[in-house]
Amino acid sequence: MSEAESNVWHGTTIIAVRKDGQVALAGDGQVSMGNTIVKSNAKKLRRLAGGTVIAGFAGATADAFALFDRLEGKMEQYPGQLTRACVELAKDWRTDRYLRKLEAIMAVADKSVSLIVSGTGDVLEPEDGIIGIGSGGNYALAAARALIDVPGLDAETIARKAIAIAGSICVFTNGKVTFESL
């Protein structure tokens, strides 16, 4: 993996949890440049498609905004078809000379599907409905998987607990968290 590719995965944590017809995304607020914290309250989640889709990103901020705009355009082309819109975005991302240089990864969800979208052309739907991306993504993913079958915990509660656990382990993840749910 090149240095540029490895940097895509560092500096943020996004968790998506799907349970009992609810989906929740949580993202920490820390922006880091190397070992320096530049900002602590960044918002890395966005509502798209009139609020019917929620998305979070890890990677370069400007690149993520460009990808959110592209995804919004694809969702206008394919209304109500999030998977199709994401596949079309991934195809463009992989083949377009400009887009190919964008360094980010996205977690995207609507009422029925949760997806990971990457610049390598991947559009992945995890079988358990849980996504973790970014430097603390694997910590949050492990925590969410451990909590998913606990009675009385809904998707948002699991996402909150999972990102708190990731923040206690990953130095690139802080406790200033934003949440979005459907």
Place of tokens 């993202």: 27
Distance CA 172, CA 169 (A): 9
Write down the residue that tokens 């979070």 correspond to: 56
- Which amino acid is residue 12, in one-letter code? T
Q: Is 12 a catalytic residue?
A: yes
Task: Show the tokens assigned to 25.
Answer: 């995304």
46's enclosing H/E stretch is: strand 45-48
Among residues 12, 13, 83, 95, the one annotated as catalytic is: 12
**Residues labelled as active-site residues:** 12
